[in-house]
Structures are given as C-alpha cells and as structure tokens.
Structure 1
Amino acid sequence: MPDQTLEKGSISPGADSNTSKGVFTDDELLRTLSVSAAVPVEEPPDGGFLAWSQVVPAHIANMMSWGYGTGFAVFQLYYKETLGLPASQVSWIGSIQIFLCFVVGMVSGRLSDAGYSKHLYIGGAALTVFGMFVTSLATSYWQILLAQGFCSGIGGGLMFMPATANVATYFKKKRSLAVAFNGCGSSTGAILFPAVVQFLTPQIGFPWAVRVCGFISIFLAFIGFSILKPRELRRIPAPIVDWSAFKYMPYTMFCIGAFLIYFSLFTMLIYINSFARESIGLSERESINFVLITSAVAIPARPIFGYLADRYVGPVNTFGLSCIALGIMAFAWIGIRNRPEMYAYSVVMGFVNGAAQGIFSSAASSFVQDVRKMGTWIGMVFAICGFATLAGPPTMGAIIDASGGKYIWAQIWAGSTIVIGGILILVTSRMLMGKSTKVYMV
C-alpha cells in the first residue's frame, strides 16, 4: 500500500528495496503477502469456466450503462425534433447520464469490496430499467432529464463497477483480455439500443421502442445476475474514498493523466455528429451512422489490444500508447473535408477509441496493490474521470462558439489534452514498473 502500515493481507511498499519503489515481481509479491499476518495467499484462478463466466454479467452491465449512455445521439435527435429544444440543452441529459455512471461507480466500487456486488447489480439494473420505462412515458424535458439522465445514470453506475471489479479479481496475467471482453459491452450496447430506437420508432412509435429496450434489458439483467458470482475474499473495513491511495505517486499521476484524456475523449464522440452535419453537410439522421460505426469497429479492437497488453506490452503502456494514437486522430480530424473521408475517419477513430477505452479499467487495476480494494481504487479513478466528462463537452462547445462555429481550435484542444494525458500515463508506467514492461497484481 502507499503508506507504511502493514495490515492483514496488505502489501507493504517498504518490504525491500524493490517494493519500496512500487515494483513487484510475482515471487516478491507472494513473499511480501506471505509475511502478512494470518491471511493465506490465494492466487486468482486466471482462467477456468467460473472465471471466464464472470465476463458475461460484466459485459451486460456495460451494455446497460455505458452502451445505453454512449448511444444517446439517436435520443438527442428525437428530443430535439419533438420538444423543439436547443441541442446544447438536450445534450445535458446524455452528459449527466455518463457523469453519474462514472461518479456513482466510486460508491458502488467500495460497496462491492464490502461484499455487496450482487445487491448492487440487481439494484442498479432495476433502476436502469425503471428509467427506461419512465422515459417512454415522459412528455417534458425535466421528466426526461430525471428518468434518462439521473435514474439510468445512477442505475448504470451501481451496476457496472461491481461487475467490472469482480472480473479483475479473477485474473492476473490475463486480466487485460478479460476486462476488454467485458468492456465490449459498451460497444454492443451503443449499437443495440440506438438501433432499436432508430428502426422501431417509425414502426411502433418512440415510447414503445424505448419499452422494447427496457424488456431487452430485463432479460439481459436476469442472465447477468444469475451468472454473477463474486470471488470470496476476506473483507477489510475502509472508507468510500481511500485517501491513502493518493500518497502512492504512480496512482496519482495516473489519475491526472486519465482526467486529461477523458476531458476530451467523450467530447470527440459527441461532436463528431455535429461536425458531420455542420462542416460536411450530412443530414442529422445520416450523422447518427457515425455513432453506430465507431461503436461497431471498437468491438474487435478491445480484445485485440487486451491480448497485446497481457502478452507483450502491459496494460498501462497499452493504454498510454492508445491514448496518444487517439490524440493524433483528433489532430487528423482537422483534415476531414467530405463524406468518404468522414466515413473512413469514423472507422479508424472508432478502432483507436475502442482500444483506449477497452484497456482503461485493466490499466487502472494495475495500481491496486491489495485485491480487496479493487473496486475502491478503480472507482476513485472513474469518479475523477466523471468530472472530466461533465466539463469537457461544454468546454469544447465554448471553444467552437468563440471560433465562430469553426472546429479547428477545438480539435487542437482535444488532441493536445489527450496526447498530454497519454504521455503522463506512460510516465506512470515507468514509475510503476522500473525497467520492466509488464506488472501484474494479485
């Protein structure tokens, strides 16, 4: 742990000259844990049916939380047309939904460490489904904001973090690949829910299209809850925010880098649609295709880079390099001039974005030195990134407005923040690993 207190089952960074720098080989880590009082060392299974089956509920949780929120573009178009509200006002619904998924994840992460993973999963799923059905009945802006923004956002935050942290506790050397597979849920959800709404609304109407999303979610949540089996670990008392984590400099630097990255990451996904309409001249409905395209190509990217992280590069290095590549894509955005270039760009950007987001949770878990605090430490990183996603879109919008509707300075801003964040992530990798290229924590 970052401080010098050795508690049961924890890791003391002062154990030897290597661990004092935060560097742990497998043997050193086991020896350090073995001298801890009374708690036996238990290696993660790192495979087997039970471990891999836990990817399923996590995948479903990501579908219902991040997937439903990331696919907000199709909802935004409908609300803008039917309610006659400015796009900036409508976008707050999606922004708040994503923000709450991040921030509530900090609380649910700590509660999952305390042994309440299944309670949080079913409670979050129920709240998310409730939000969908209430959205189908809503007729005014504030009703939609409460139902889809707050209700579904809180439900998603309660649901996804325990499932994601649970997967991380089952794996060590294959952790990046496993987390990448469950992270694919955000892409499959971002395809499924917008497609249902977009194609069923002309057939059965918007309210029933949203209810279909709700019924699908009930079915998926039942499967996920039935399979979810949190790993049995000795629980330790801890606050929701473990402030001692920030005494560990690699973790603090990682949080700063992740904040800068997520300040502009979701902003790119949000404004690519408006750019296609305003700068390329595409229709609003055609611009929604870019949400589906970027989500679709992200699906294969996540396990590919998860495998590379586990096998060759390491999760922190993979995340940092992927983010630098995403920042370069933000700069490349400046050169897009026509429809074919727009479609080609959305494919490449979606693939790179899938790589970056898919490895994020695994990279964050690399800094967790006590597996029993997995949800707490990852949740704190997500909460920090939540504030970044809330502030990012308004900032980029203000830059575009100040530039007279031109996107170039906003694109430069997005590229710069993401590249700087990626560089900081690579710095934390060197701090964490010394000369090694991979680190695996129990």
Structure 2
Amino acid sequence: MGQLEESNSTSDEVEVESGGSTSPEEQVIFDRGLTAWLQVLVGHLLVINGFGYISSFGLFQSHWVQSLERSSSDIAWVGSLQMFLLFFVGTFSGRAMDAGYFRSLIIAGSALQLIGTFATSVATAYWQLILAQGIIQGLGNGLLFTPLVALVSVYFLKRRTLALGLAACGAPVGGVIFPVVLRQLEGHLSFGWIVRIMGFVILFNTALVLVLARPRVTVKASRPLAEWAAFKEVPYVLFATGIFFTIWGIYIAYFYTATFGRNVIHVSSTTSYTFLMVLNGVGIPGRLIPALLADRYFGTFNTLLFFVAAAGILLFSWMAVEKLDGFTAFLVVYGFCANAVQTLFPSTLAGLTKDITKMGVRTGMVFTVGSIACLTSAPIAGRLIDIEDGSYRGAQAFGGTTVFLGVAFLLSARLAQRDG
C-alpha cells in the first residue's frame, strides 16, 4: 500500500479531475474529505441501479416463467446475460475510466439502463425480453460497474474496504426497494407499470449521480486496452481464476430463491418475494460488518477466504432444506455470507494493484473473466432443475462445488501473494 501512495504522488501523468484547480498535495490525500465520501454515495446509487436491480431478478424469473410459459433455464438466460455484460464490458469501461471518460460512461450507461428498463415494461415476447432486460440493460450496467469500483478505490487507502462496502450496500438496498415496489403495487397496477416505476427510481438516482460524481484522476498517456503483463503475476492469475469459480456458484440462490419458495416450500408468490427481500436485506450488515472486520483485524484477503468457504458450505446445506423455518434461516445466513463475498472481492482485487492509474483496467480484466461464469451459471442451474423434474439438488450441488473450487484458487493466490 505504501507503493500505491508513492506512485500516485510521483507520476507526471496523473491529475485531479474535479472541475476546479487542485494543488499537487491533494492528489495523495486518501480516506477523508467531503468529496471522497460523496463518491461513496455515488457508488451506492449506481449499485442500486445495477446490482440492486439484478439482485431482484428472482421477481422477474418467477413472473416471466408464468407469463411467457418458458422454462426456468430459458428465463435464466435473461438474467445471466445481464450479469455477463455487467462484468464483460468491465475491461472496456475500466480502460475508458482510466483515460478520463468517466462522465461519458455515466451518461451512456445510465441511458442504456433506463432504455432497457422501460423497454422491459412493454415486452410481450421472449426475444424482446432478451434484448431489453438482457442486452440493453446489461450493456448499461457494464459501462457503469467497473468505473464505480475504480472511482471509490482511488479516494481511499486504509478505509478502502469500508468505503467499497458502503457503496456495495446499494445491492441489498436495491434488492429490497424493487421487491417492495412490486409487492405493494401488485394487484393495483399492471406488471408493466410496476417496472416503469422501478425505472423512475433508477432515473432519480441517476440525476443525483450526475450532480455529485467527481472522478479523481485521468491518464494522459496512451495505454493498451488490457494490461497483459498482469497475467504474468501469479497472485493475480490465481485470484482471477478463483473469482471465476466463486461467481459460477454464488449467484444461483439469487436467481432461484422465489421459485424454490413457491415450488418446494409451497408458499404463495407474495411470500416467495419476501424471501428475496430477506436474502437481499441481510446484505446490508453482510457488507458492512465483514468490511469493518477486514479493515481493523483480519485483512481483506483473509476475510474474503472465510466467507467464500462459508458460502460453499451453505450451498451444500441448502440441499437439506425442506421447510419454511429452515429456508428462512438459510437465506439469512447465506445472504450475509454471499454479500460479504461480493463486497470483499473488489477491494481485495484493488489491493493487488499498486498503480492507481491502472485501477480501472486491472479491475475490469478480472470482471471480464468472471463474466463467463455469470453467463452460464443460472442457465446451467436451471437446466439441472428441469432435467431433475423440479428438484434443486443438482443445482445446489453445482453451486457448492464451484464455490469450493474458488476457495482452492483464492487460497493459492493468497499464499503466492505472501511468498511474493
């Protein structure tokens, strides 16, 4: 971390882009100042619009399976395509962020999010759903996610994990807001109008982001799209591989919580939406408490390893759940652990980058690797459910196994980092 601060203070290519004149000393100030904490709020709002909306996909999974009369696997492709593009576009948006195009990314990404949301509200065919919610909204999310991680990371050093954790709380907050909107308005408005109201929530957040966002650095020198030298660093490669396997399994519960509640626990659709709210709601302490523990006591990487392993154990434990009480307990504990993983892995990744002028591109490269897992995870799980005539055991076993593979690679990355 000392090398990070030194590189920031001596580089001739780094300048502050805050809309006004700034002294050189301000370029190396971390962890304090109103502007820095406002960027955490900006990140929080962007995560609500992106991950928060995606975290609510169980709502859409349940609705579209019934209204379009498609299989769970077919509908899962919509959500997985959205997740895939969120991560895959990361390399491109990260490089653009490093090159000083943050505001352009915010405008373009937010516009695509809004177009995708409002187009989803009028979708009546499967291909329309793929285009609107899968592709258009996925591209918008991808243009925004890597820049928001980089935006917060370059303002914080010692408190980086906490800052990213606060920003990442937007996922569970959004994951509660959007199901509440559906639950309160269902029966009073059509599904299309409910989705439009969700779109207006996204629009309001976007307006605040455009007012408050202040990207810190731009890179004047020309750089390649990807930093291929990063793949010669053993800890970086092992970490990227570990994140691939972790992501491959950890999001399965988010896609199938509502359908599991309705088809296995045999609760009403309204109660199944409540399950999704529980899974997301516990993410608020799940993102803050582990971040505090990581910053103060155990370190980010060590804390990440613990929660990835715990998530793997819980996915296997899910196979034994058959009753309402057991499922609720599973959602509370798993939601805490899974949200901890989602918060800790970007900050752990940031710790593998010594030069903050490369923060965007190196973050985006790992996200792009993880995008393949996002694309295939839910459809594989959905296909396993369909093959087994509605049984979730195959999907649960798939999730637990891949997460444990992630633990193995992440542990190897940690050991390689220490040896280095």
Does residue 427 in structure 1 map to residue 407 in structure 2? no
| Alignment match of 1:333 (pick from 318, 327, 338) | 318
| Range 216-225 or range 402-411, more displaced | 402-411
Deviation readout 1:212-266 (Å, 9 max, x if unpaired): 1111211110101111000034443222222111011100000010001011111
Shift of the alpha carbon at 1:296?
0.2
Does residue 75 in structure 1 map to residue 32 in structure 2? no
Residues 37 and 155 (structure 1 numbering): CA distance in 2 closer, same or farther, change over 3 Å? closer
Q: Secondary structure at the match of 2:187?
A: helix
Alignment correspondent of 1:382: 367
Alignment correspondent of 2:21: none
Residues 233 and 46 (structure 1 numbering): CA distance in 2 closer, same or farther, change over 3 Å? farther
Check the 8 A contact 1:235/1:372 in 2, yes or no. Answer: no
Letter in 1 for 2:402: T
Structure 1 CA distance, aligned partners of 2:389 and 2:124? 34
Structure 2 CA distance, aligned partners of 1:167 and 1:38? 20
Alignment correspondent of 1:207: 192
Shift of the alpha carbon at 1:402?
4.9
| Range 396-405 or range 332-341, more displaced | 396-405
Q: Secondary structure at the match of 2:357?
A: helix
Deviation readout 1:310-357 (Å, 9 max, x if unpaired): 112221222121101101111211221211111111111111111111
Letter in 1 for 2:56: G
Deviation readout 1:40-80 (Å, 9 max, x if unpaired): 89534222211111011111111111111121121222223
Check the 8 A contact 2:98/2:219 in 1, yes or no. Answer: no
Structure 1 CA distance, aligned partners of 2:10 and 2:148? 30
Pairwise mapping of residues 40-119 of structure 1 onto structure 2 (< 5 A)?
42-119=27-104
Alignment correspondent of 1:319: 304
Alignment correspondent of 1:9: none
Shift of the alpha carbon at 1:210?
1.4
Structure 2 CA distance, aligned partners of 1:31 and 1:224? 30
Check the 8 A contact 1:120/1:159 in 2, yes or no. Answer: yes
Alignment correspondent of 1:280: 265
Does residue 123 in structure 1 map to residue 123 in structure 2? no
Structure 1 CA distance, aligned partners of 2:275 and 2:13? 55
Shift of the alpha carbon at 1:306?
1.0
Alignment correspondent of 1:11: none
| Range 273-282 or range 320-329, more displaced | 273-282
Letter in 2 for 1:334: M
| Alignment match of 2:151 (pick from 166, 170, 177) | 166
Shift of the alpha carbon at 1:29?
6.0
Alignment correspondent of 2:18: none
Alignment correspondent of 1:218: 203
Does residue 292 in structure 1 map to residue 308 in structure 2? no
Shift of the alpha carbon at 1:132?
1.4
Check the 8 A contact 1:57/1:228 in 2, yes or no. Answer: yes
| Range 173-182 or range 230-239, more displaced | 230-239
- Cα RMSD for the two superposed structures: 2.3
Check the 8 A contact 1:44/1:169 in 2, yes or no. Answer: no
Deviation readout 1:191-217 (Å, 9 max, x if unpaired): 112321332232122222111111121
Check the 8 A contact 1:122/1:159 in 2, yes or no. Answer: no
Alignment correspondent of 2:358: 373
Structure 2 CA distance, aligned partners of 1:329 and 1:78? 27
* TM-score, scaled relative to structure 2: 0.91
Pairwise mapping of residues 298-317 of structure 1 onto structure 2 (< 5 A)?
298-317=283-302
Pairwise mapping of residues 223-302 of structure 1 onto structure 2 (< 5 A)?
223-302=208-287
Shift of the alpha carbon at 1:180?
0.7
Check the 8 A contact 2:81/2:374 in 1, yes or no. Answer: no
Check the 8 A contact 1:131/1:147 in 2, yes or no. Answer: yes
Alignment correspondent of 2:130: 145
Structure 2 CA distance, aligned partners of 1:401 and 1:245? 40
Structure 2 CA distance, aligned partners of 1:144 and 1:209? 16
* TM-score, scaled relative to structure 1: 0.87
Residues 301 and 127 (structure 1 numbering): CA distance in 2 closer, same or farther, change over 3 Å? same
Letter in 2 for 1:229: R
Check the 8 A contact 1:180/1:358 in 2, yes or no. Answer: yes
Structure 2 CA distance, aligned partners of 1:136 and 1:269? 21
Check the 8 A contact 2:13/2:219 in 1, yes or no. Answer: no
Check the 8 A contact 1:55/1:179 in 2, yes or no. Answer: yes
Q: Which runs of 5+ in 1 are unaligned?
A: 1-24, 436-442
Q: Secondary structure at the match of 2:124?
A: coil
Check the 8 A contact 2:112/2:136 in 1, yes or no. Answer: yes
Check the 8 A contact 2:58/2:259 in 1, yes or no. Answer: no
Alignment correspondent of 1:198: 183
Alignment correspondent of 1:17: none
| Range 228-237 or range 89-98, more displaced | 228-237
Shift of the alpha carbon at 1:83?
2.4
> Percent identity over the alignment?
36
Check the 8 A contact 1:55/1:181 in 2, yes or no. Answer: yes
Shift of the alpha carbon at 1:125?
0.8
Structure 1 CA distance, aligned partners of 2:391 and 2:61? 22
Deviation readout 1:285-309 (Å, 9 max, x if unpaired): 4222221111000111111111111
Letter in 2 for 1:262: I
Shift of the alpha carbon at 1:403?
4.7
Letter in 2 for 1:138: A
Shift of the alpha carbon at 1:361?
1.0
Structure 2 CA distance, aligned partners of 1:85 and 1:399? 15
Deviation readout 1:412-441 (Å, 9 max, x if unpaired): 332222122123213212322349xxxxxx
Letter in 1 for 2:295: D
